[in-house]
Homo-oligomer: A and B are copies of this chain.
Amino acid sequence: MKFSKKTVLFYLLFCLFFLSCDTNQSQNSNAGNNEPTHPNLITTVKGINLIKENLGKYPLIDNAIKDMKGLVGEELTKEKDFPISKDPSGGYSHEKHKSNYLMMYRAAMLYQVLGEKKYGTYVKEMLLGYADLFPKLGLHPYGKSYSPGKLFWQGLNDAAYLVHVIQAYDCVYYELSKEERQAVETKLLKPLADFLSIGSPKMFNRIHNHGIWLNAAVGMTGYVLEDKELIKRALYGATIDTTLAIYQNVDYNDSSLKGFDPKRPAGYFMQLDNLFSPAGYFTEGPYYQRYSLWPFVLFGQTIQNNDPSIKIFEYRDSILKKAVYTAFQLTNTNGDFFPFNDALKGMSFKSPELVLALDVIYQNYGEDPALIDIAAKQNTVVFSEGGFKVAKHVAENKAKPFTWKSVNLGDGADGKQGGVGILRQGPSSDQLCQIMRYTSHGLAHGHYDKLTQLLYDKGNEILQDYGAVRWVAVIQKNGGRYLPENTTWGKQTISHNTLVVDEKSHFNGDIDESSKHHSDLYFYDATKADYQIMSAVEKNAYPGIKMHRTFVMITDTLLVRPFVLDIFNVTSKTKHQLDLPFHYLGEIMDMSFEYEVMDAAWRPLGKANGYQHLWLTGKGKTKEPQAKFTWLNDGRFYTITTLSNENTELILARLGANDPDYNLRPDPAFIIRQKDAKNHTFVSIVEPHGSKNLNTEIVTNPYGDVKKLSIVHQDKDYIAVEILVEKEKILVVLSLNEHDEKQSHSLTIDGKLRQWEGPYRQWFYK
């Protein structure tokens, strides 16, 4: 990463400005009058007063209180325990400290909104218990990561602890005597904030999802303790003392630290500058975008409440707003995040992070009624001014429908490191949604695959990305950590809907190599009435092979629904085995080709790179120039129509081989295998059609309307495809090497001269 003079100058000016703003601090002091100034992070005196005056009026607030109470349960009456930290994730001391900080946070919130002393007393006693424990802790014995913690094995967990505990302390501030505050601040909060900043320099100053957690924890502590030094570190990075033992002892060869530069600018502003693209896309993908939004938004609101003159919500052209809206666009119409890269399925915009983010964005960016639509589905709020407004406006039916849009999101801080394209057609209640991932690697949680597709229809996964192999927080499953099959299956390219050459993953599964590259956008256009298109090129995944994939979502007025044309052009000078998997979800209804099934035994499809996890269940061939594969998903049929020839093998597979701990789902795959291929173009259509109703037992259109698919012209510059739909033909032409929208083209196809402008054109005719 490089830093221009302009950037450095900007930071310098910001620092000077900040240091001159002494007056800001007075906002957080209790001197001079008896108005309480705590809490004042995201939960504020004003917000709490609004909530307390309106209890019982707005269901979302009442739900939030009920949920909080349910989570606290019997905890207040149980014996408190502050074990010496010694276990990794899943072990007793880890889980106990985690439970403790969550309980402190929840009890503190209930103390504020309900005003019941028992909650305050509980939090006070917990704080004092930790003030007693913390000085006894050294580095965690399992602290093997590049940034070990004290309470937990990772500094990241210690930061999450502090983010919660500083809020708890802020909420019960006046329940503690001066001496008690002194003890908690000097024995727990300040030392922990120091440890997480100057004591964890590699992580604290790192431009990374982990770094922002530490920045936020330290900054929020700074505001509560009125400690300008902590605030400065949080905003601009910590001065690194490279002589500290912690700096010396930690494993420097951790691959995730490559390129770490102790001298570069750091802190919250730097994270805002670098972790998001200009449109607000986070490079690790939606699942971790959600996770990183938590400290980003939390600290943003904290700054706004304490240093409004910074105008943090305007920073980088309102990047915080963009990051949250982009997160919402990275969900399916049921709110589930697209699960590419390491991602657990089912994580959605109902997550606590997005509840917080929505409430903050709603408060600070003009109260968009589309957010109220989402908030109603979240069904809860945080205890802030924003949360109060959201709950009130949900109750007052101020919602307007949130719209999921077609969008192309560039990756990287400059938005030019590849990206994610999304095409959508139809209302949210019944939408076809095609995604192509052509991003950069995505840091430690990235997967190798390029030009991958995901397909959703009416809220269902039709072609799935497997996501991560992990049961987070389930102790029995390796303490809730990533499982070995995440490496051997989840990250491998065969587990994704993209090309696999010679049974090897993209970049041969080498993260260093993969991190150097990204795919390139060729063309994106979602403005046309009868088609939307996205096209991208990948030249580095396999040496000597160029991959160029184009998705066109075509709307034909003769058809009830749109369908997706997928042209995957592979250029190579040498022969390879090309596998194009379709990880469909549903039940096989029909195959147009001859196939044999493996009856006597199932054996793994291959030996390595994920193939060892797939059982080969059947395989087929056809003499026809096209093959059809139809399945049923949630009462709708889907058919893949794909070109075939004598070198095409159609493979049916199911996941679950070499899975000694039953960690994999038994999901199916349909793989188009092209043998001995140099230059080859996969042309496929995925068509949703018909219906099967379980209650009326009525079936409609089980075969689909795409009758014939063929390449009618192909040379090094163009490919033309003809699709017979019902009684109509669609001719599609794609220019392979010229993507200028203004460029004129002419080509004789089937004896007829065709002329057009731009990289793509389609004609309907009888």
Chain A residues within CB distance 8 Å of chain B: 71, 344-348, 350-352, 471-477, 480, 587-590, 597, 599-603, 615, 617-618, 630, 632, 652, 654, 656-660, 662, 665-666, 668, 692, 694-699, 702-703
CB of B473 within 8 A of CB of A346, answer no
Chain B residue nearest in CB terms to A98:
B698
Chain B residue nearest in CB terms to A472:
B697
Given contacts A656-B617, A665-B587, contact A697 B473 (CB under 8 A): yes
**A344 contacts across to B, CB distance below 8 A:** 694, 697
> Can you give 27 contacting A-B residue pairs, CB < 8 Å?
A346-B694, A347-B694, A348-B695, A350-B695, A351-B695, A471-B587, A471-B632, A471-B692, A472-B697, A474-B702, A475-B702, A475-B703, A476-B630, A476-B703, A477-B589, A480-B699, A587-B662, A587-B665, A588-B662, A597-B662, A599-B658, A600-B603, A601-B601, A602-B657, A617-B656, A654-B666, A666-B668
CB of A695 within 8 A of CB of B589, answer no
Chain B residue nearest in CB terms to A664:
B587
Minimum CB–CB distance from A658 to chain B (whole Å) comes to: 5
CB of A475 within 8 A of CB of B699, answer yes
Interface centre among A345, A348, A473, A588 (most CB of B within 10 A): A473
Chain B residue nearest in CB terms to A290:
B695
**A589 contacts across to B, CB distance below 8 A:** 471, 474, 476-477
Given contacts A471-B589, A476-B590, contact A696 B351 (CB under 8 A): yes
Question: 8 new A-B pairs (CB below 8 Å) besides A348-B694, A471-B632, A601-B601?
Answer: A347-B694, A348-B695, A471-B692, A473-B692, A473-B699, A476-B590, A476-B702, A601-B602
CB of B654 within 8 A of CB of A346, answer no
Chain B residue nearest in CB terms to A696:
B352
**A695 contacts across to B, CB distance below 8 A:** 346-348, 350-352
**A347 contacts across to B, CB distance below 8 A:** 694-695, 697
**A665 contacts across to B, CB distance below 8 A:** 587
Cα A658 to Cα B599 with chains together (Å)? 5
CB of B662 within 8 A of CB of A599, answer no
CB of A657 within 8 A of CB of B599, answer yes
**A652 contacts across to B, CB distance below 8 A:** 662
Query: What 7 A-B pairs are tightest by C-beta distance, nearest first?
Result: A346-B694, A476-B590, A473-B699, A588-B662, A351-B695, A602-B602, A601-B601
**A658 contacts across to B, CB distance below 8 A:** 599
Given contacts A480-B699, A658-B599, contact A692 B588 (CB under 8 A): no
Interface centre among A652, A662, A699 (most CB of B within 10 A): A662
Minimum CB–CB distance from A107 to chain B (whole Å) comes to: 16
Minimum CB–CB distance from A208 to chain B (whole Å) comes to: 20
**A618 contacts across to B, CB distance below 8 A:** 662
Chain B residue nearest in CB terms to A348:
B695
Chain B residue nearest in CB terms to A335:
B695
Given contacts A351-B696, A666-B666, contact A659 B471 (CB under 8 A): no
**A694 contacts across to B, CB distance below 8 A:** 344-348
**A477 contacts across to B, CB distance below 8 A:** 589-590
Cα A695 to Cα B349 with chains together (Å)? 8
Partner among B350, B474, B703 whose Cβ is within 8 Å of the Cβ of A692? B474
Minimum CB–CB distance from A332 to chain B (whole Å) comes to: 14
Cα A475 to Cα B666 with chains together (Å)? 27
**A660 contacts across to B, CB distance below 8 A:** 597, 599
**A71 contacts across to B, CB distance below 8 A:** 698
Cα A652 to Cα B599 with chains together (Å)? 19
**A656 contacts across to B, CB distance below 8 A:** 617, 654
Minimum CB–CB distance from A336 to chain B (whole Å) comes to: 9
Minimum CB–CB distance from A355 to chain B (whole Å) comes to: 9
CB of A699 within 8 A of CB of B474, answer yes
Minimum CB–CB distance from A472 to chain B (whole Å) comes to: 5
Cα A473 to Cα B700 with chains together (Å)? 9
Cα A658 to Cα B345 with chains together (Å)? 32
**A659 contacts across to B, CB distance below 8 A:** 597
Cα A600 to Cα B602 with chains together (Å)? 9
Cα A660 to Cα B350 with chains together (Å)? 42
Minimum CB–CB distance from A331 to chain B (whole Å) comes to: 12
Interface centre among A615, A659, A696 (most CB of B within 10 A): A696
**A348 contacts across to B, CB distance below 8 A:** 694-695
Chain B residue nearest in CB terms to A480:
B699
Cα A632 to Cα B662 with chains together (Å)? 12
Minimum CB–CB distance from A345 to chain B (whole Å) comes to: 7
Chain B residue nearest in CB terms to A618:
B662
Cα A230 to Cα B653 with chains together (Å)? 58
Minimum CB–CB distance from A346 to chain B (whole Å) comes to: 3
**A597 contacts across to B, CB distance below 8 A:** 659-660, 662
CB of B599 within 8 A of CB of A615, answer no
CB of B473 within 8 A of CB of A698, answer yes
Cα A233 to Cα B587 with chains together (Å)? 45
**A632 contacts across to B, CB distance below 8 A:** 471, 474
Cα A697 to Cα B652 with chains together (Å)? 34
Cα A665 to Cα B345 with chains together (Å)? 22
Cα A599 to Cα B697 with chains together (Å)? 40
Minimum CB–CB distance from A325 to chain B (whole Å) comes to: 19
Chain B residue nearest in CB terms to A336:
B694
Chain B residue nearest in CB terms to A660:
B597
**A350 contacts across to B, CB distance below 8 A:** 695
Cα A472 to Cα B695 with chains together (Å)? 11
Minimum CB–CB distance from A347 to chain B (whole Å) comes to: 6
Chain B residue nearest in CB terms to A597:
B660
CB of A601 within 8 A of CB of B599, answer no
Minimum CB–CB distance from A160 to chain B (whole Å) comes to: 12
Cα A702 to Cα B477 with chains together (Å)? 10
Cα A618 to Cα B702 with chains together (Å)? 38
